Amino acid sequence: MLAIAACDKDKPETPKNYVQVAMQPVFGNQTFYMDSIYSTQEGYQIKFTELKCYFTLFKNVSNALHEAALLDYRETGNLLFKKEGDYTKFSNISAVLGVDSSLNHLDPSAFPNNSPLNISNAGPMHWGWNPGYIFMNIEGKVDTIPDATLNPDLSFSFHIGTDTYLQNLQFNNINWTNIGNNTHQFKLKLDLLAFLGQGANSINLNSENLTHTAAGQEALTQKVITNFKNAISPF
């Protein structure tokens, strides 16, 4: 018995497996950087100064993967989350763009300290108990007078929240990439040129540059969140 116990003690542990989900912003076919200058389809020069958004309830049918993630591109880059898990159980993933209504009105101080929903991590992305969290926050500057220099004449600010504007995401037949260290990654792309330019649903920053999900801003609020959802795709 002692020999068996010693043998078991010396047996190497099975390495843990991890999954991670990342979201990489781009601007059309260009690499994206905060505060860099890009051109819209109208010829406006634009730069982004804030890019944050929440995603919740990552799962494959009843198989839960992750409760909540916050993309804060300036502060933490493109990683949404990394955790122990088996990627083979998640050939399909659904998620909510925004903070699902089952979480949106809970006490933000009651979430675990490492949760992006905890008030210490959410910070200004939480509006209060009634409206709940800000689902997405995009801000920047735009020069609507085409010339050789960036001389911003307008600011834009899109703060979208409230249960009305939650969006469902679905990704099927996922190709997980082995990135080493027992980790498989699913990478998403957020095309900010596509976010602004959606044909008849395009956002013209000259006249459509402000919504904080207030009364009277419903049309632009819906356009902004719909375009944002449609700008997300597997990388």
Residue 81's H or E segment, with its range, is: strand 79-84
Quick check: is 61 in a domain? yes
Quick check: is 175 in a domain? yes
Domain that holds residue 112: 23-234
pLDDT digits (tens, 9 = 90+) for 98-143: 999 999 999 999 999 999 999 999 999 999 867 899 999 999 999 9
The average confidence (pLDDT) of the chain is: 93
Quick check: is 1 in a domain? no
Question: pLDDT-derived band of residue 1, with 50, 70 and 90 as boundaries?
Answer: very low
Quick check: is 193 in a domain? yes
- Look up residue 145 and give its amino acid: I
Alpha-carbon distances, residue 78 vs 35, 63, 135 (angstroms): 16, 24, 17
Quick check: is 58 in a domain? yes
Domain count, the chain: 1
Sole residue written with tokens 């989900």: 21
Quick check: is 17 in a domain? no
State the pLDDT at residue 187: 98
User: Mean pLDDT, to the nearest integer, of 197-211?
Assistant: 92
pLDDT digits (tens, 9 = 90+) for 18-69: 999 999 999 999 999 999 999 999 989 999 999 999 999 999 999 999 999 9
Alpha-carbon distances, residue 171 vs 17, 96, 134 (angstroms): 22, 12, 23
14 compared with 96, residue with greater pLDDT: 96
Alpha-carbon distances, residue 228 vs 45, 216, 232 (angstroms): 20, 20, 7
- Whether residue 6 has pLDDT greater than 70: no
Structure tokens at 68: 């909540």
User: Cβ distance 221 to 228 under 8 Å?
Assistant: no
Structure tokens at 1: 């018995």
Question: pLDDT-derived band of residue 9, with 50, 70 and 90 as boundaries?
Answer: low
Quick check: is 129 in a domain? yes
Quick check: is 13 in a domain? no
User: Mean pLDDT, to the nearest integer, of 4-30?
Assistant: 82
Rounded distance between C-alpha atoms, residue 170 and residue 189, angstroms? 14
The pTM is what?
Answer: 0.91
pLDDT digits (tens, 9 = 90+) for 70-106: 999 999 999 999 999 999 999 999 999 999 999 999 9
